[in-house]
Amino acid sequence: MQFIETRGNDGQHPEKVSFSEAILSPISSFGGIYSPESLPDLGETFLKTHINSDYKTLARAVLTAFEIDIDADIIDSALALYDNFDDPTNPVPVVKVKDDLFVSELWHGPTRAFKDMALQPFGTVLSSIAQNRNEHYLILAATSGDTGPAALETFKNKANVQVACMYPDGGTSDVQRLQMVTEDAKNLKVIGVKGDFDDTQNALKHLLASKAFKDTLKEKNILLSAANSVNFGRIIFQTIYHIHSYLELVRQNAIQSGDKVYLNVPSGNFGNALGGYYAMKMGLPVEKILIASNNNNILTKLINTGAYDLRSASVIPTTSPAMDILKSSNIERIFFDLFGKERTKELMSQLDDEKYYQLNENELKQIQAIFSADFCDDDQGKEYIKQAFSTGYLMDPHTATCFKAYDTCREKPLKTIVYSTAEWTKFSPVIANALTGEVDAHDLDALKSIAKEANIKIPAIISGLFDKEITQKSIIEKDEIESEILSFL
């Protein structure tokens, strides 16, 4: 399968690339991104065939259907990483919580958040491509908290790859920060930046676009890439768990194969939701995809009104920080798929120039045929956490936003798959506050009180972080990032 450009071609970039090329250089002409030229058909026969497949078998079949240019043995070693999840036979458990609501838990990997679902196999794939091509890569990552640990975890000690990961100093939870600053592999550099997530993201974009920076790297025989969520090498692994979760509902006799379901996704950069969209396009019986946001409700407004308006918007810090976002990058692939490259280019350049665009009536109708959206503020989220806990389910504040969309967005009484994107351990102060009322607890105290309240153990992988040596000590100003990275190399 080939990948084509969402904003058309500028005569400089290749019009079509292979999967491995799209992984190494995801950015295409006019600041667009590479998207699949077509999608495989994974309709009823595929679902029937895989009704009893384990996760890796299903994953292999989906990847095969995409006809990607990655050798089977590399794919096998990438998928083997799911064996390190809590239950190797089922890395993504789907739990019935109430009535029609099932939670697909995407956080049973090494960093306890859903970024592992894609980044774990992605690291192996990227490192293998680099080795085959005898090239060395610097991977840049900017993180608001979950991408960083997952990227470091997947690339540590991998051949032909070095990682520089930037996080906003003070902008992540203790656990997220410790997961990063205790990484000691020689090919990893972690940089705390004095600023917020947008500052680190802008620094990343600036470096990725800087010819001078690339030239300096070239002298060191290093190429530049990014592990951000527009990378199709991540998206492809995010189509699989939607299909898996559907099949789990069939296996649990909650639905019959062919019945429609709602997918309910806590959304930020829209990678998770895009995976669901592609699964639906490939034939998964989905009624609608419910997009849950927090107070940064730019996606709710887009889906309900067709307007994307950043003119007076600024990021509002919430208790679900992985969704504190203004520019949701993967929406572009939905537009490209529905409206084509000319219109996508028009909308995206308008957003760049005027910080605003408005879909027309027909476009909005097409969007609303697929998506519904609502947002959940922090107090409501806390209530949902409390409520779910009282019925025996412990969840994090990102997952909680979906419970509101479950209440408000469904038009039919169909089974609903909520995607849970983080373990309780990653956002413990918020959860402790919801459950016990305690305020401003540090992570370790909050973890302890939740563990007591819920009568569960803090996973060793998390409690151990607090005793580990801090090896990554850089905390710097925005304008020092480039030189810090160069001295690491």
Ligand X SMILES: *Cc1c(COP(=O)(O)O)cnc(C)c1O
Stretch that binds ligand X, among 26-34, 89-97, 111-119, 122-130 (CB under 6 A): 111-119
> Among 22, 68, 113, 432, which residue sits at the site for ligand X (rule: CB under 6 A)?
113
Per the structure block, which two tokens stand in for 289? 């995809």
Nearest distance from residue 203's CB to ligand X, in Å? 19
Residue nearer to ligand X on the CB measure, 146 or 199: 146
> Among 81, 119, 203, 323, which residue sits at the site for ligand X (rule: CB under 6 A)?
323
Does 292 engage in binding with ligand X (CB under 6 A)? Answer: no
Nearest distance from residue 396's CB to ligand X, in Å? 7
Q: Show contacts with ligand X in window 181-240 (CB under 6 A).
A: 229
**Structure-derived torsion over alpha carbons of residues 315, 317, 323, 328, reported in degrees to the nearest 10:** 0
Nearest distance from residue 291's CB to ligand X, in Å? 9
> Among 6, 225, 272, 433, which residue sits at the site for ligand X (rule: CB under 6 A)?
272
Residue nearer to ligand X on the CB measure, 294 or 474: 294
Alpha helices for 220-360 (secondary structure H): 232-251, 271-281, 298-305, 331-339, 341-354
Residue nearer to ligand X on the CB measure, 91 or 268: 268
21 Cβ neighbours under 8 A, 6+ residues apart: 3, 14
Name residue 483's beta-bridge partners: none
Nearest distance from residue 328's CB to ligand X, in Å? 7
Say how far apart CA 247 and CA 62 lie, in whole Å.
14
Residue nearer to ligand X on the CB measure, 270 or 424: 270
> Among 178, 422, 431, 441, which residue sits at the site for ligand X (rule: CB under 6 A)?
422
Closest C-alpha among 388, 64, 328 to residue 201: 328
Q: E-assigned strands of 117-250?
A: 137-142, 161-168, 188-193, 223-226
Residue nearer to ligand X on the CB measure, 192 or 266: 266
Stretch 146-165: interaction string toward ligand X, x if CB under 6 A: x-------------------
**Structure-derived torsion over alpha carbons of residues 483, 484, 485, 489, reported in degrees to the nearest 10:** 90
> Among 171, 271, 276, 306, which residue sits at the site for ligand X (rule: CB under 6 A)?
271
Contact indicator for 115, 123 with CB cutoff of 8 Å? no
Say how far apart CA 115 and CA 120 lie, in whole Å.
8
Contact indicator for 85, 113 with CB cutoff of 8 Å? no
Please report, as ranges, the residues that interact with ligand X according to CB under 6 A.
Answer: 113-115, 146, 229, 266-273, 322-323, 398, 421-422
